Amino acid sequence: MEPLSLSDRAAAEFAPQTTYLDTSTGGLLPARTVAAVKTAAEEFASGRRDVGDPFDAVAAARASFARIVGVDAARVAVGSAVAVHVGLIAASLPAGAEVLVPEGDFSSLVNPLAIRGDLKLRYVPLDALAESVRPGTSLVAFSATQSADGRIADLRAIRAAAAAHGARTLVDATQAAGWLPFDAGDYDYSVTGGYKYLLCPRGTSFLTVTAQAQETLTPLHAGWLSGEDPWGSTYGPVAELAHNARRFDEPPASIPYLGAQHSLALMEEIGTEAVHAHTTALAARLRAGIADLGHTPVPGEGPIVAAPSLAGRHGSLEAADIVTSVRAGNLRVSFHVHNSTADVDRVLDVLGGRA
C-alpha cells in the first residue's frame, strides 16, 4: 500500500468549517485527538478507566516531543504553559543577572523574567540580538519565531555569541516546533507550548534542559509524580526525585495529554520537513500576492505572513469566513498542513476586492 500523502493525511484528520488561517493563535485538533479527548471525558464521567493510563499518555507525549525536537526524553519536562516553565528558569537566576531579550517578544517568555524585579532585562531589536550579547550577560531569552510577525531569529549567530560570552540560552519554540527543523539540544533551555504548530490541546507544554543546566534549577513544582519512583512517593516529602528532567514537571492535566499523544504522533508521521515545505510554500505564495496588490508584507521565510498595511482588512476576511488575526498592528496569516493554495487565493481575492 502506498503511504498516505500529506494532503491525504490532512483530509483524514481535518475538516474545518472555515478557511482557517490562524495556527499561530491555536492549531486545529486532529480528528484522532478529538476522539481521544471525547472518549476520555466520557469515561471519566462514567467512572470507567478504559481510555488508557494518563501517565502512559504523558510518557508517550514526552517521548514523541523529544524526537520531534531532537533530544533524549530524559531532558524533557512537561507542564501546562510556557510561562510556568520560564518562571522556573527565572527563579534560578541570581539577583542582578543580566537577561538579554528582543524588543516586543511574547509576554509569556518576557514577563516571568521581568516580574522578578531584581534582574537586569536589556531589550534590543531582534536582528541585533547576537551582536548585543556581552561579557556579563547571564541569559539570552528569545523566541525562535516571533509571534507578532513571523520573523525568524538568527539561531546560529545567537548560539555562537552566547557561547563566546558564557551566557546561557533560553529559546521559546512555541511558534516554531513542528514546522521549523529545530534541535532543542543546542540550547540550555527551550520552552514550547503544544497547542499551536504541534496541534495539541491547550494545557500541554514542554521544557527541555541540558544535563548541565539541570543542575541550575530547583524543582519548585515537584509533587509525587516527580519522584524517581512516583508510586512510592505519594505521602510525605519525596525521598528521591527523578534523576532526569522529569523532576521539573509541573503535574500534568490528564485529558490534554491523553489527546496530545495522538497529535504528536501525527506530527511525527508527517515529519517536520514535510510540514516546513508545505507551509512555507503557501506563505511565499501569499507574500507574493500581497506585494502584487501593492502592499508590503514583513519579510520572512516561515509559515507566518504579516502585513501592517492590511490590518484594517481583518473584518473583510472575517466576513468571508476566513479566520486570521491581528497582532502588533499586523494582519497575521499562518498556515499548517490542512491549508492549500486555494486558501491562499481566497485570501487574495478578498483583499483584492474580487470576492
- Mean pLDDT calculated for residue range 108-113: 98
Q: Beta strands 325-327 and 330-334: pairing type? A: antiparallel
Q: What is the pLDDT of residues 224-233, one digit of tens each?
A: 999 999 999 9
Q: What is the pLDDT of residues 232-251, one digit of tens each?
A: 999 999 999 999 999 999 99
**Residue from 23, 244, 260, 58 nearest 145 by CA:** 23
Q: What is the pLDDT of residues 96-109, one digit of tens each?
A: 999 999 999 999 99
- Mean pLDDT calculated for residue range 294-320: 97
Tell me the three-class secondary structure of 281-310, residue by residue: HHHHHHHHHHHHCCCCCCCCCCCEEEEHHH
- Mean pLDDT calculated for residue range 46-66: 88
Mean pLDDT of all residues in the chain? Answer: 96
Which helix (H) or strand (E) covers residue 183, if one does?
Answer: none
- Mean pLDDT calculated for residue range 110-124: 97
The predicted pLDDT at position 7 comes to 84
Same topology between domain 6-30+271-351 and domain 46-270:
no
Select the more confidently predicted residue: 4 or 291.
291
Which helix (H) or strand (E) covers residue 21, if one does?
Answer: none
Within 13 Å and on the Cβ side, how many CA atoms surround 93? 31
Residue 287 has pLDDT above 70, yes or no: yes
d(CA 214, CA 245): 7
CATH architecture observed for domain 46-270:
3-Layer(aba) Sandwich (3.40)
The predicted pLDDT at position 1 comes to 53
The predicted pLDDT at position 316 comes to 97
Domain range annotation of the chain: 6-30+271-351, 46-270
Q: SS3 of 251, please?
A: coil
- Mean pLDDT calculated for residue range 152-168: 98
Residue 355 has pLDDT above 80, yes or no: no
d(CA 106, CA 48): 41
pLDDT bucket at 47, cuts 50 / 70 / 90: confident
Residue 8 has pLDDT above 90, yes or no: no
The predicted pLDDT at position 5 comes to 83
Residue 200 has pLDDT above 70, yes or no: yes
The predicted pLDDT at position 53 comes to 83
Angle between helices 272-292 and 341-351 (to 10 degrees): 20
pLDDT bucket at 3, cuts 50 / 70 / 90: low
pLDDT bucket at 9, cuts 50 / 70 / 90: confident
Q: What is the pLDDT of residues 339-353, one digit of tens each?
A: 999 999 999 999 998
Q: What is the CATH number of domain 6-30+271-351?
A: 3.90.1150.10
